[in-house]
Amino acid sequence: MSQYVPQAGGLRDRAEAGTLVGPPRLRHPSARCRPRRVAMLSVHTSPLHQPGIGDAGGMNVYVVELARRLAAAGVEVEIFTRATSASLPPVVDLAPGVLVRHVDAGPYEGSAKEDLPAHLCAFTHGLMRTWADRRPGHYDLLHSHYWLSGHVGRLAAERWGVPLVHTMHTMAKVKNASLAAGDRPEPAARVAGEAQIVADADRLIASTGTEAAELIRHYDADAARVTVVHPGVNLDRFRPDASGVEAGRTAARARLGLPPDALVPLFTGRIQPLKAPDVLLLAVARLLQERPRLRERLVVPVVGGPSGSGLAEPEGLQKLAARLGISDVVLFRPPVEQAQLVDWYRAASVLVMPSYSESFGLVALEAQACGTPVIAAEVGGLPVAVRNEVSGVLVPGHHPADYARALGRFADDPVLSIRLGEAAARHARSFGWETAASATVDVYTRAMAQRQYSRPLF
């Protein structure tokens, strides 16, 4: 298993296990093992969708930012996604060197993610039609994201004769092992599908060492084909105000109409049981029971829309706030563009992420890059994204009382938010997308080289 750890000055190869297959003394990879053009698959959610709505979230940000940085490094990227509207153009220029291709597969609207496996054959057919118009070798490699894309990628990579690199983003067995109350388990078909992808992919990219270990433990992945590449954060967009963390917080609150001296614990993201926004509300209710005078200076923004199993009761969180008697301190806001999201991050005293499962937690990195500390569940990749007691606070488990205690620390010591926020900005600076893209290109290159070695000599 290979692991790339972001550093301020670039990337460092921590552990390189596994060797290329084949007799290097008889056959060497060509000089063109570095990819020129990559086909990316993001079947169930488009990189053009607004994160925080429906199924759009951290994976959308991941695909967009990685594609942009790959193109900037000289690797052209074509992203294939399912068309969700008849009015969408077949091809959209996302950025120089990055195209988004819409593939007709199933109904344009009204299809839940759970319905999409039935449309994978149609998506594969549309992908193959595009490929048929290309000259041989047009795509050097296929990179699929999430298990639905991986299923299509397995077939396409075999047909095209190119390596398949796959990123899980989330895994059914991991999610099922830590379900929130009332959440639906992932189906057995997904578990079986993920096992097939792990077996067939030339390389697997994991966001953290924990995710890599889960791939090996739960899916019997070959450790030599698993590489850890930490995702990044757009440091050009997400950064502290030029005037500093404290002054930037005051300015952002003025723009958003928030009290300058308030305690502002922020939740942003998709509203669904997996992300556990209810834990934050329960913690706030408990905190106000213990400190009723805090109500005068407490504002709890919830920025995001219902998603996944949360769509079954889209107003469930508002009803919970009303039952808890805290509707007066909770602000529900729809998802916003990244430019406005920066203001919410800067305005917050702390970002709260009580998630039951996170492969990495890009939201935590974005907030820290803006100079805002994070209270997060000690799950998945969050212990990598957040440095405990340096850039934020990690909480074992999901008991509201533990989150209430963590919030109480910020209520008691207003300077804590500024001190941890400044350290958070420094911590986030080591997670640039350029580093992640460079490491990903290295994974591509190794996959292509290994594919050359494994071909028959005659």
Residue 146 marked as a ligand binder: yes
- Pair type for strands 330-333 and 350-353: unpaired
Q: Do the annotations mark residue 346 as ligand-binding?
A: yes
Q: Is 113 annotated as a binding residue?
A: yes
What residues contact 196, with CB distance under 8 A and at least 6 apart?
A: 151, 154
What SS3 class is residue 143? strand
Least Cα distance to 127 among 145, 97, 105 occurs for 105
Is residue 190 a known part of a binding site?
Answer: yes
**59 annotated binding-site participant:** yes
Ligand-binding annotation for 159, yes or no, is: no
- Residue 255, φ and ψ in degrees, nearest 5: -65, -35
User: 3 among the known binding-site residues?
Assistant: no
Per the annotation, does 56 bind a ligand?
yes
- The verdict on whether residue 62 carries a ligand-binding annotation is no
Q: Rounded to an integer, what distance in angstroms lies between the CA atom of residue 244 and that of residue 242?
A: 5
| CA atoms within 13 Å, Cβ hemisphere of 240 | 24
Residue 202 annotated as binding?
Answer: no
Please tell me whether 279 is known to bind a ligand: no
Residue type, 297: R
Strand runs (DSSP E) across 8-160, as ranges?
10-15, 37-41, 76-82, 91-95, 98-103, 141-145
Is 60 flagged in the annotation as binding?
A: yes
- The response to whether 366 counts as a known ligand-binding position is yes
Per-residue DSSP letter, 269: S
Helix, strand, coil percentages for the chain (3-state, nearest 5): 45, 20, 40
Q: How many CB atoms lie within 10 A of CB 159?
A: 12
Q: How many CA atoms lie within 13 A of 183 on its CB side?
A: 24
DSSP state of 206: E
Neighbours of 408 (CB within 10 A): 17
Question: Do 58 and 360 contact (CB within 8 A), yes or no?
Answer: yes
Has 336 been labeled as part of a binding site? Answer: yes
109 marked as binding residue: no
d(Cα 83, Cα 181) in Å, to the nearest integer? 33
DSSP string, 238-255: S---TT-HHHHHHHHHHH
Q: Is 358 annotated as a binding residue?
A: yes
57 is in an annotated binding site: yes
Q: Is 319 annotated as a binding residue?
A: no
Alpha helices of 310-432 — where are they, by DSSP H? 316-324, 338-347, 362-369, 382-385, 400-412, 414-428
Extract the annotated binding site.
44, 50-51, 55-60, 113, 146, 170, 190, 270, 275, 336, 345-346, 348, 358, 366, 372
Annotated binding site for 1D-myo-inositol 3-phosphate: 44, 55-60, 113, 146, 170, 190
Annotated binding site for Mg(2+): 345-346, 348, 372
Residues annotated in a binding site for UDP-N-acetyl-alpha-D-glucosamine: 50-51, 58, 270, 275, 336, 358, 366
